[in-house]
């Protein structure tokens, strides 16, 4: 083998020999030429490999070595056939074979070589952020500390009902009426607590008011007013509500839109907040009549046809599912229940009231072999013992095709939602009992899920409830019942402690409505309207 010095000398000698050849002579092949040619060829190959072949071996050669710690774990890789939504799980349609292990590895390799674009965690909250005030506790949680008899209610101990974020105490199975989990003895006026608890766990809360689509005011207006509805002076009834309004209007968040982007929940009917004058003998407070509150959106259990700033939302029922699977199980059970009665009525008469046909309903139900009457008596706080039993009421509804829902003290009843929860088709006697109220939650085609028997005909004795319902074909009854069962998710309030709800409940429907309403108001202001 030649040394490097010898090789260099030979190169120099070749150059001298070539120079000594006379013109026109044929020189011997020069080693310099060979070396130059090899060098040029190598450089051309490197240039082509680096710039002409994507993902080539040459590009790999110039990358820094990959360490084990920089490799993604297989558990962290989500396989998705849609690269624009890599964070979503794959949903295989019928006819597609499941991914094999080889396909999984191949897809994982591709995703690591060219990572799919992913959304930032906040993207799904765009346009859905809610700013919630941290109000002084006197406006909410302090009200719960004194929940004993005569405090939140004139003659009831409300402590069992404010438990579990307003759901109350868990209900036992009681003969299969409340199977599984998610059933509680919930008072109809606990919406303030339930809504606030849901909002605390809302995934799109923000501490930046400028990002908020709407602003939530966690004032327990329903609970607060319930303390003083009976035999209290108007100064006592109005004191805390005026205090809350004064606190609000001083906030910079309020001044941004004058409260037009704010909303609150007052878990009673609108008539408990619309006292017409400052007279002690008149019922209720004036909360919803103050100009500042009229600027806001208020959710109540029953609204007034004279206002556009209040929306009616469902009364709380006994069912508060933790997840979509709980709802599906409940629905499937209802589809299998044997219904022995054509129709039923659960309630008490209203002697002397010309606004309701309860007396006529009770009379017709007693005279019919197809009606199940659950007579509750008429004394406030008393009556038949079973009237205070959730299982007793639900057992009547679950065994009936139709449930009669006349007016009570006001146009609406919690019983409407208990009936729907039982898969029982509600029968109304006035449009104001449902159709003009729950426009956010009920279908516009009222005949799909309910029956309307005009009040006047029943009151005059010209209409037979039994004959009217018997004329509905069995196939139509089954179709209507299925529609009622499908309504259940939209009219129940999920367990406020759950973080895996997985379906749109009454809370979600209401929240979407207020977000849309505020957005429309902002567009109107931007357009100068």
Identify whether 402 is part of a domain.
Answer: yes
pLDDT at 241: 97
Determine, yes or no, domain membership for 159: yes
Same domain, 293 and 261: yes
Residues 359 and 305 in one domain: no
Flag whether 382 is in a domain: yes
In terms of domains, do 241 and 199 share one? yes
**515 and 484 co-located in one domain:** no
Distance CA 211, CA 125 (A): 10
pLDDT at 409: 85
Q: In whole angstroms, give the CA distance from residue 288 to residue 34.
A: 98
DSSP state for residue 214 in the 8-state scheme: E
Question: 251 with 269, same domain?
Answer: yes
Low-confidence ranges of the chain (pLDDT < 50): 1-30, 32, 46-119, 122, 378-383, 385
231 & 214 share domain: yes
Residues 274 and 364 in one domain: no
Positive/negative CA dihedral, 352, 354, 355, 358: positive
Q: Does an H or E element contain 231, and which? A: none
Shared domain for 270 and 339, answered yes or no, is no
Domain span at residue 502? Answer: 130-316+497-528
pTM of the model: 0.76
Residues 481 and 388 placed together within one structural domain of the fold? yes
User: What pLDDT sits at residue 139?
Assistant: 98
184-217 confidence digits (pLDDT tens): 999 999 999 999 999 999 999 999 999 999 999 9
Structure tokens at 181: 């989990």
To which residue do tokens 């309004």 refer?
245
Give a yes or no: residue 63 inside a domain.
Answer: no
One domain for residues 312 and 392 = no
Is 311 inside any structural domain? yes
Q: Which ranges in 250-355 belong to alpha helices (H)?
A: 252-255, 291-295, 324-336
Q: Is residue 287 part of a domain?
A: yes
Beta pairing partners, 374: 346
Residue that has been written with the tokens 């005009």 in this structure:
454
CB 514 within 8 A of CB 263: yes
Nearest to 162, CA basis, from 173, 174, 177, 151: 151
Question: What pLDDT sits at residue 35?
Answer: 53
User: Does residue 87 contact residue 124 with C-beta atoms inside 8 Å?
Assistant: no
Rounded to the nearest 5 percent, the helix, strand and coil shares of the chain are 45, 10, 45
CATH number of the domain residue 476 falls in: 3.40.50.2000
Q: What pLDDT score was predicted for residue 74?
A: 29
Co-location of 296 and 346 in the same domain: no
Q: What's the total number of domains in the chain?
A: 2
DSSP string, 206-250: -S-GGG-SEEEE---HHHHHHTSSSS--HHHHHHHHHHHHHHHHT
Tokens, residue 457? 């005909």
In this structure, the answer to whether residues 371 and 271 fall within a common structural domain is no
Q: Is residue 392 part of a domain?
A: yes
Instruction: Report the pLDDT value the prediction gives residue 42, as an integer from 0 to 100.
Output: 57
Domain membership flag for residue 91: no
Give the DSSP letter string of 312-368: E-PPP-SB--SSHHHHHHHHHHHHH----EEEEEEE---TT-SS--HHHHHHHHHH-
């Amino acid at each position: 083998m030649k040394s490097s010095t010898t090789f260099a000398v030979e190169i120099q000698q070749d150059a001298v020999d070539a120079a000594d050849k006379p013109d026109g002579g044929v020189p011997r092949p020069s080693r310099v030429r060979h070396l130059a040619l090899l060098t040029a060829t190598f450089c051309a190959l490197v240039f082509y490999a680096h710039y002409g072949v994507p993902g080539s071996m040459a590009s790999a050669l110039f990358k820094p070595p990959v360490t084990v710690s920089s490799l993604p774990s297989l558990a962290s890789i989500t396989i998705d056939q849609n690269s624009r939504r890599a964070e979503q799980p794959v949903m295989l349609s019928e006819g597609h074979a499941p991914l094999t292990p080889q396909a999984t590895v191949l897809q994982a390799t591709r995703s690591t070589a060219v990572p799919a674009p992913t959304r930032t965690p906040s993207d799904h909250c765009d346009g859905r952020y809610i700013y919630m005030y941290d109000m002084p506790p006197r406006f909410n949680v302090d009200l719960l500390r004194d929940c004993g008899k005569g405090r939140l209610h004139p003659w009831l101990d409300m402590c069992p009902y404010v438990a579990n974020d307003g759901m109350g105490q868990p209900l036992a199975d009681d003969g299969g009426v409340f199977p599984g989990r998610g059933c509680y003895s919930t008072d109809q006026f606990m919406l303030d607590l339930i809504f606030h608890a849901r909002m605390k766990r809302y995934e799109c809360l923000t501490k930046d008011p400028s990002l908020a689509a709407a602003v939530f005011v966690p004032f327990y207006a329903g609970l607060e007013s319930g303390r003083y509805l009976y035999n209290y002076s108007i100064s006592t009834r109005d004191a805390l509500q005026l205090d809350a309004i004064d606190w609000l209007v001083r906030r910079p968040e309020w001044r941004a839109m004058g409260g037009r982007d704010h909303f609150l929940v007052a878990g009673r009917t609108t008539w408990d907040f619309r006292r017409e004058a400052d007279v002690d003998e008149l019922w209720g407070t004036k909360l919803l009549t103050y100009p500042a509150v009229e600027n806001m959106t208020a959710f109540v259990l029953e609204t007034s046809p004279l206002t556009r700033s209040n929306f009616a939302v469902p009364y709380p029922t006994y069912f508060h599912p933790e997840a979509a699977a709980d709802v599906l199980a409940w629905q499937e059970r209802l589809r299998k229940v044997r219904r022995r009665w054509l129709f039923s009525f659960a309630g008490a008469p209203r002697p002397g009231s010309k606004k309701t046909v309860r007396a006529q309903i009770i009379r017709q139900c007693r005279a019919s072999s197809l009606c199940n009457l659950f007579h509750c008596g008429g004394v406030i706080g008393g009556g038949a013992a079973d009237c205070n039993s959730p299982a007793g009421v639900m057992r009547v509804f679950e065994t009936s095709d139709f449930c009669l829902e006349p007016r009570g003290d006001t146009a609406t009843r919690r019983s409407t939602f208990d009936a729907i929860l039982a898969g029982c088709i509600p029968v109304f006697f006035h449009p104001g009992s449902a159709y003009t109220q729950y426009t956010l939650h009920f279908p516009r085609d009222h005949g799909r899920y309910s029956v309307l028997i005009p009040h006047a005909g029943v009151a005059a004795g010209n209409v037979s409830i039994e004959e009217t319902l018997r004329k509905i074909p069995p196939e139509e009854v089954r179709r209507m019942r299925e529609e009622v069962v499908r309504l259940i998710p939209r009219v129940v309030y999920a367990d406020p402690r759950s973080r895996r709800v997985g379906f749109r409940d009454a809370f979600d429907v209401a929240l979407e409505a207020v977000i849309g309403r505020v957005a429309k108001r902002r567009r109107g202001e931007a357009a100068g309207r």
